Amino acid sequence: MAAHPSRRSVLGLLGMTPVATLVAGPASATTQGNRIPDGLRPGGELDRFVADRAARDEFAGSLLLTHRGRTVLARSHGMADRERAVPNGPDTAFGLASVTKLFTAVAVAQLAQQGKVAHRERVGTYLAGFPDAIAGATVHHLLTHTSGLGDYHGLPGYFDEAATWTSPEQVMAGTTGFIRRSAPLFAPGAGWAYSNSGYHLLGEIVAAASGMSYYDYVRRHVFAAAGMTRTDFVAKPQRRTDPRIAHPYYRDAQGRWADGVEELEFVGTPAGDAFATCADMDRFARHLYQERLLAPGHTGLVLSGKVLPGEPTPPPGQTPPPQDGPRAEAVYQCYGPIGSLVGGQWIFEHGGGNTFGESTFVQFYPETDWVLVVLSNYADAAVAVARLARGLIVGS
């Protein structure tokens, strides 16, 4: 049997490595006018960079770059299913890993807008059966990764039990049970630690406040509302056989490509692993910052800095990008994305990934109307692409 990374070595769908700290400088006039920088056009620097990585089998997936709603660059490389020789294409759906948290954050914001959820209220207001150390965290703490709850993937026995779950209901209830029995890393508000557990509980709050399952709520009020027709939480049986869905791939101990489908949970959670196409993620980003998912005030509440994030640690097997450029003027944790002030404009982003073959990044620039989506079914493949694109969009 080929060796592969241990389930217990994976700390979940983390991958929130902000590239905002990597590139800064004055905003280029070409990005704010009608002319598109040559480096972003077909055949330009970004296109060549991704094609070269794909030729060296270091990138498989799709990217989409749009400006003012028009496609600037759209590319797909590599295979969605190596065994069946199905190539990646513009309609291929990829596991989003932690980018899924953006959907959860928007769902919470919608319910807050309706008065059904309040950011100052405690977990115990909405969910019963939690010890005081967890019940005392607020919705604000959960959204900003300041609850101290950490990551349920790293809890002893989680992956063994998760392997037995065969329905979305079991996944939600089982994961919540592990979090209920966990010990926080610190008191709510006393620090910042990226928290899959916190975002899972936000999903449970969405269900409790809406009277619907988390999955049904997000399908109806986020995916459908944004016109995301190829986005869903896809169960493992469908992921095995559907040619429209990319299989994740990682290198085993012998350096051979291995299919990571069986290593992941039965279905995604509020913390990670919805499936989407690049076009759908572009629609989501534009609906969000153009105030079509939330009223203006609540959009501003989501896309505004709340706390200074800590230094994120990539999952095992992922390499952080080099810190070789001038730093951004400001980097803040918002309600979901990271917000960065770079060259005088705010940029919002979220990434995701795991060692079994998912690497994703979404960036959007509301002031200059750019959206970048990079979805890969190779581990640790999206950040470098997003980093280069940022430099070309903003100007260094």
Cβ–Cβ < 8 Å for 333, 199: no
Angle between helix axes 196-210 and 168-180 (nearest 10 degrees) is: 120
Cβ–Cβ < 8 Å for 351, 340: no
Q: How far apart are the C-alpha atoms of 15 and 383, rounded to whole Å?
A: 9
138: left (phi over 0), alpha (psi -120 to 50) or beta: beta
Q: Record the tokens describing residue 55, joined without a space.
A: 């030729």
Query: Among 26, 74, 80, which Cα is nearest to 241's?
Result: 80
Cβ–Cβ < 8 Å for 317, 379: yes
Checking if the pLDDT of 171 tops 90, the result is yes
* Domain architecture of the chain: domains with CATH: 7-394 (3.40.710.10)
Cβ–Cβ < 8 Å for 24, 329: yes
The CA-atom distances, in angstroms, between 28 and each of 31, 147, 367 are 6, 39, 13
Cβ–Cβ < 8 Å for 328, 341: yes
* pLDDT of the residue at 334: 98
Tens of pLDDT, residue by residue over 110-143, are: 999 999 999 999 999 999 999 999 999 999 999 9
Cβ–Cβ < 8 Å for 353, 52: no
* pLDDT of the residue at 320: 44
Average pLDDT rounded to a whole number, residues 295-306: 97
Tens of pLDDT, residue by residue over 53-110, are: 999 999 999 999 999 999 999 999 999 999 999 999 999 999 999 999 999 999 999 9
Reported confidence tier of residue 10, pLDDT bands at 50, 70, 90: very low
Tens of pLDDT, residue by residue over 204-227, are: 999 999 999 999 999 999 999 999
Three-state SS at 383: helix
Q: How far apart are the C-alpha atoms of 18 and 331, rounded to whole Å?
A: 9
The CA-atom distances, in angstroms, between 121 and each of 77, 106, 146, 149, 204 are 46, 17, 14, 17, 14
By percentage, how much of the chain surpasses pLDDT 90? 84
Catalytic annotation, residues:
98
For 40, other C-beta atoms within 10 Å of its C-beta total: 22
Q: Record the tokens describing residue 268, joined without a space.
A: 């995604």
pTM of the shown model: 0.90
Q: What is the mean pLDDT of the chain?
A: 89
* pLDDT of the residue at 327: 56
Cβ–Cβ < 8 Å for 182, 156: no
Query: Among 28, 99, 34, which Cα is nearest to 348's?
Result: 99
Tens of pLDDT, residue by residue over 255-277, are: 999 999 999 999 999 999 999 99
